[in-house]
Amino acid sequence: MKLPGHDAIARQADEHLVTHRVKLPRKVVERPIRQVAKRLLMALAVLVATALIVYVDRDGYNDNADGSVDLLDAFYYATVTLSTTGYGDVTPVSDGARLTNIFVITPLRVLFLIILVGTTLEVLTERTREEWRLNRWRSTLRDHTVVVGFGTKGRSAVQTVCATGLKKEQVVVVDPSSKVIDAATSEGHAGVIGDATRSEVLKRAEVHRARQIIVAPQRDDTAVLVTLTARQLNRSAKIVAAVREEENAPLLKQSGADAVITSSGAAGRLLGLSVLSPAAGMVMEDLIQQGSGLDLIERPVVRAEAGKSPRETDDLVVSVVRGHRVLGYDDPSIGTLQLTDRLITIVRATPGAHVAPHTRPLPRD
C-alpha cells in the first residue's frame, strides 16, 4: 500500500483549500474589467467633450472669482455639472450658453450618469441573475454525473459518457483549480471549485442526488478519500474510480467504489497487446472510444431474445450480466437468456444514434 501519512494528506488539503463555489457554463462576451474600463473611457470622453463645448463658448460664462473662464474653469464646470453638484460659481450668462446647456450639456449629463450608474446596476443585475440561475440549477439537477478531477482521465471519461447521449449540462465537474473549472464550463459543464475530499464541496455538486460519480484525481490517496466521502453521501450511486497503482485498487473497492480502473496497468496492457498485434490494439482502442467505429455497450435483453442462447442473437454478445455476476458468452451456466439479463455487445457506431448505458450500480457482495 503506497498511501502517504496523515500529515501529507493534511498538507495536500491546505494546498487545495479555496473558497468552494459553483460555476455554471455561460458564454462570456467580454471580461468585466474590460467592460468597466470601456465605460470609464466613455465617461471621460463625455467629460472632455463637455469641457471643450464650454471653453469654445467661454465668453458666455461668468466666473464669480475673476469674471473670465479659462480651460481649467471649463473642465471644472463640466465636472461639477455632469456630477450634478452645481456650486454655481461658474454659470452661463448669455442666451447662447444657456441654450447650449439645455440642448447639449443636459443630454451629456444624463448620458454621463447612465454610463456610471448603469455599470453599478449591471453588476447588481448580473449577480442577481447568477444567483437565480444557481438556485434554479440546484432545484432541477437530478440523476446527474459528478466528475472529480478534470485532467486527462476525467476529461476522457466525460467525453465518453457524453458520446452515449448524456447532456453536457448533466455533468458537474469538481476540481480545486479555477482554471480547470473554467475549461469545464467553457465546454458546457457546471463546475465546483474546491477540494472534493470535503463533504461540503461534494454537497455543492449535489452528489447526494447524483446517479453516477467518476473519481479521477491525480493522486491515489485523494481518490480513496473522495470515494469514502461520496459513498457516505450517496449510498445508491455508481462510483467508478481511477488509480495509478494496482495495489491500491482493493482499497478503493473497500471504500465503496463499484469499479476501479488502474490507469497505468490498463495503458501497459494496451501497449503489450499492440506489440503482439498492432491490429488487435487498434480494435481495442476503437472499442473504448465511444461514437466511432465499433462500440462496446450494455443493453437489456429484449423479449424476442428471451429463451435464446447468446450466440443466437443478432448482436455480437461478449458477456451476459445476470444479477451481480458477469458471465462470458460461452459460459455453460448461462443456458438461455432471461428478460432480467443484460447483454454486453459490440455494435457498429452509427452517427447521430446514441445508446445510453445502463447506470444502475451492480450489487456489492
Q: For 128-180, what is each residue's pLDDT tens digit?
A: 777 777 777 778 888 899 999 998 888 888 888 887 778 888 999 999 998 99
Upper half-sphere CA count for residue 133 (Cβ side, 13 Å): 13
pLDDT at residue 10, rounded to an integer: 45
d(CA 317, CA 348): 13
Residue 343 has pLDDT above 60, yes or no: yes
Cβ-count burial of 151 within 10 angstroms (0-12 exposed, 13-18 middle, 19+ buried)?
A: middle
d(CA 352, CA 350): 6
168-199 pLDDT tens trace: 889 999 999 989 998 998 888 988 999 999 99
Q: For strand 294-300 and strand 342-348, is the pairing parallel, antiparallel, or unpaired?
A: antiparallel
pLDDT at residue 232, rounded to an integer: 93
End-to-end CA distance of the chain: 23
pTM above 0.75, yes or no: no
Q: Please report the beta strands in the chain, taking only residues with DSSP state E, as ranges in sequence order.
A: 21-23, 61-63, 90-92, 145-148, 171-175, 190-193, 212-215, 238-243, 259-262, 294-300, 316-322, 325-328, 342-348
Residue that is written with C-alpha cell 448533466 in the block: 170
Residue 124 pLDDT class (50, 70, 90 cuts): low
Residue 266 C-alpha cell reads as: 490498463
d(CA 149, CA 175): 5
DSSP H helical ranges for the chain: 6-15, 32-56, 71-82, 95-100, 106-140, 152-163, 178-186, 199-204, 220-233, 249-255, 263-276, 278-288
Cβ-count burial of 257 within 10 angstroms (0-12 exposed, 13-18 middle, 19+ buried)?
A: buried
Residue 64 has pLDDT above 60, yes or no: yes
Average pLDDT of the residues in 231-240:
93
3-state helix, strand, coil in the chain (%, to 5): 50, 15, 35
C-alpha 173 chain-centroid distance: 5
Residue that is written with C-alpha cell 483549480 in the block: 177
Q: Which amino acid is at 127?
A: R
Upper half-sphere CA count for residue 80 (Cβ side, 13 Å): 12
Least confident of 21-25, 132-136, 239-243: 21-25
Distances (CA, A) of 22 to 6, 138, 184, 327, 330: 28, 10, 12, 42, 49
pLDDT at residue 256, rounded to an integer: 92
Cβ-contact 240, 214 below 8 angstroms: yes
Share of the chain above pLDDT 70, in %: 82
d(CA 93, CA 172): 66
Residue 45 has pLDDT above 70, yes or no: yes
Residue that is written with C-alpha cell 448620458 in the block: 111
- Arithmetic mean of pLDDT over the chain: 80
Residue 208 has pLDDT above 70, yes or no: yes
pLDDT at residue 161, rounded to an integer: 84
Average pLDDT of the residues in 342-355:
71
Cβ-count burial of 73 within 10 angstroms (0-12 exposed, 13-18 middle, 19+ buried)?
A: buried
255-275 pLDDT tens trace: 999 989 887 777 777 778 788
pLDDT at residue 233, rounded to an integer: 94
Distances (CA, A) of 56 to 52, 82, 97, 102: 6, 18, 10, 16
Average pLDDT of the residues in 240-247:
89
Residue 131 C-alpha cell reads as: 444567483
Residue 306 C-alpha cell reads as: 428471451
Radius of gyration of the chain (CA): 32
CB atoms within 10 A of CB 333: 9
Cβ-contact 284, 273 below 8 angstroms: yes
Residue 138: enclosing H or E segment and its boundaries? Answer: helix 106-140
